[in-house]
Amino acid sequence: MDIFCKIINNEIPSYTIYEDSIVKVFLDVNPNHNGHTLIVPKKHPSFAIT
């Protein structure tokens, strides 16, 4: 399980800005700029980009 799955499952705390059944939006722990947010899908895509 990757770090994003752990955040989505609330195993790792985060400052959540928005959440629904598709995505979770939260502030970056180590932002480049104030307010830097991450938008993470709750389901892994069926393809991988390498």
Q: Where along the chain do its domains lie?
A: 3-41
Residue 49 has what pLDDT?
A: 67
Residue 2 has what pLDDT?
A: 87
Residue 45 has what pLDDT?
A: 77
Residue 48 has what pLDDT?
A: 65
The answer to whether the CB of 12 falls within 8 A of the CB of 6 is yes
**Sheet hosting strand 23-27, strand order edge to edge:** 16-19, 23-27, 37-41
Report the Cα 42 to chain-centroid distance in Å. 8
Residue 16 has what pLDDT?
A: 97
Q: What is the pLDDT along the chain (50 residues), one digit of tens a residue?
A: 789 999 999 999 999 999 999 999 999 999 999 999 999 999 987 776 66
